[in-house]
Amino acid sequence: MKVYQINYDLRKQRNYDELYKKIKAYGTWCRPLKSCWIIVSDKTAAQIRDDLRQVMDNDDGLLITRLNPEAAWVNLDSDKDNSMTDWLKKYIGAAS
């Protein structure tokens, strides 16, 4: 399985609900920041992009990046109990 970071900028319509449903459908995911999700998938970055574009407008921005075990983070949303940090360590690797 590969780990991808999804970043987006919904500009006019801002149909967040449909985008969130699509992202959550990948099954294994976390949302460390408001416009950033991380998912685990066997798909390629281009396949994920094409899948998510189905619920986005033509002017919306989208960046899909495959992650490797080198990662670092601080002050993530909703990480008061370290569950987000634990998820990231499990699927990406130890924080540097």
> 75 pLDDT band (50/70/90 cuts)?
confident
Instruction: Examine the pLDDT at 28 and tell me if it is beyond 60.
Output: yes
| Range in 4-8, 17-21, 48-52, 83-87 with the lowest mean pLDDT | 83-87
Question: How does DSSP assign 23-71, residue by residue?
Answer: HHTTSEEEEEETTEEEEEESS-HHHHHHHHHTTS-TT-EEEEEE--S-B
Residue 94 has pLDDT above 70, yes or no: no
Q: What is the mean pLDDT of the chain?
A: 90
pTM of the model: 0.85
Instruction: Sketch out the chain's domains with CATH numbers.
Output: 2-91 (3.30.70.240)
